[in-house]
């Protein structure tokens, strides 16, 4: 034996050294899996088999409720956009994917509104800062849709109409309630908004009681 070679004697009975019992056992395991999955698949009981595959285009996985998906712009009660073009979201956006060109609202009911509101989904890093920064609950990322593949880069830029098409009315009071908001909110009987307005949030259940207490 050459220098430095250490021969390790492997312990093992004859049946171990013959391999055959172990081979039979191993083939039994694979064959059991094969029979279960094959016949389960054949008679259409895919869900009962061990196969976990999700066949993507036909089947999709349900995203968790807090998944950040495609953006959408929320609506006022009269159907206009809630966005007041305050430029918070393009300012905070780390990827510079939001383009807003403001304009004056024609009827004078509000001061500003976006003339152009574009989000480049190819640049977006899906960080969710825009939705956090928005003071008006105008932009959200709760659609549970991910960016679709496109043939042209230009198609990945979502314009105002497309963002609004996924929008819905928000439960937040436009412009805030103002001073003494706690008393005012307590005075108004709280009604549960209808399901269409609510985003696809966490599963229905008892509403958690707010535990936050301001010390003032």
Partner 1 sequence: MGYGTLLFSILAGLAKVLFMILAFLMPVASILTWLERRQSSMMQDRLGPNRANIGPFKMWGITHFLADALKFMFKEDFVPPMAHKFLFMWAPVMAMAPALIVAAIVPFGPPLCWGQLFETGATCNQPVPLQIAHLDIGMLFYFAIASLSVYGATLAGWASHNKWAMMGGLRASSQMMSYEVTMGMAVLGSFLVYGSLEPGAIGDFQTHILNFDNYRSSWGIFSQPVGFLLFLTAAIAETKRTPFDIPEGEPEIIGYFVEYSGLRFGLFFLGEFLEIVTSSAIMITLFFGGWHWGPYIDGFLMSHLPNVAFVVVMFTLWAIKVFMFCAFQLLIRWSLPRFRSDQLMQLGWQRLLPLSIANVVATAIIVLWAQM
**Footprint of partner 1 (CB under 8 A):** 20, 23, 26-27, 29-31, 33-34, 37-38, 41, 49-53, 55
| CB-nearer residue toward partner 1: 53 or 190 | 53
Unique residue bearing structure tokens 């009975």: 13
Q: Which segments within 14-92 are labelled E, that is strand?
A: 72-73
Closest distance of CB 62 from partner 1, Å:
20
Strands 157-158 vs 112-120: parallel, antiparallel or unpaired: antiparallel
Closest distance of CB 148 from partner 1, Å:
21
Unique residue bearing structure tokens 């549960």: 192
| CB-nearer residue toward partner 1: 32 or 184 | 32
State the number of CA atoms in the 13 A half-sphere of 193 facing the CB. Answer: 12
Closest distance of CB 6 from partner 1, Å:
16
Closest distance of CB 126 from partner 1, Å:
30
State the number of CA atoms in the 13 A half-sphere of 88 facing the CB. Answer: 15
| CB-nearer residue toward partner 1: 8 or 196 | 8
82 within 8 A of 174, measured Cβ to Cβ: yes
| CB-nearer residue toward partner 1: 33 or 96 | 33
């Amino acid at each position: 034996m050459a220098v430095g070679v250490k021969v390790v004697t492997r312990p093992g009975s004859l049946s171990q050294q013959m391999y055959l019992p172990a081979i039979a056992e191993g083939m039994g395991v694979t064959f059991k899996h094969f029979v279960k999955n094959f016949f389960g698949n054949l008679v259409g009981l895919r869900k009962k088999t061990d196969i976990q595959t999700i066949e993507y285009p036909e089947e999709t996985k349900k995203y968790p409720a807090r998944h950040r998906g495609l953006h959408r712009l929320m609506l006022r009660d009269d159907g206009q956009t809630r966005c007041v073009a305050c430029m918070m979201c393009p300012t905070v956006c780390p990827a510079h994917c939001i383009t807003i060109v403001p304009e004056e609202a024609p009827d004078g009911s509000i001061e500003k509104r976006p003339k152009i509101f574009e989000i480049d989904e190819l640049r977006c890093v899906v960080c969710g800062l825009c939705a956090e920064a928005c003071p008006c609950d105008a932009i959200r990322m709760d659609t549970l849709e991910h960016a679709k593949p496109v043939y042209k880069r230009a198609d990945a830029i979502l314009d105002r109409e497309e963002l609004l098409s996924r929008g819905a009315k928000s439960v937040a009071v436009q412009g805030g309630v103002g001073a003494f908001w706690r008393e005012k909110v307590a005075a108004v009987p709280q009604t549960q908004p209808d399901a269409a307005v609510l985003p696809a949030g966490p599963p229905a259940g008892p509403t958690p009681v707010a535990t936050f207490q301001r010390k003032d």
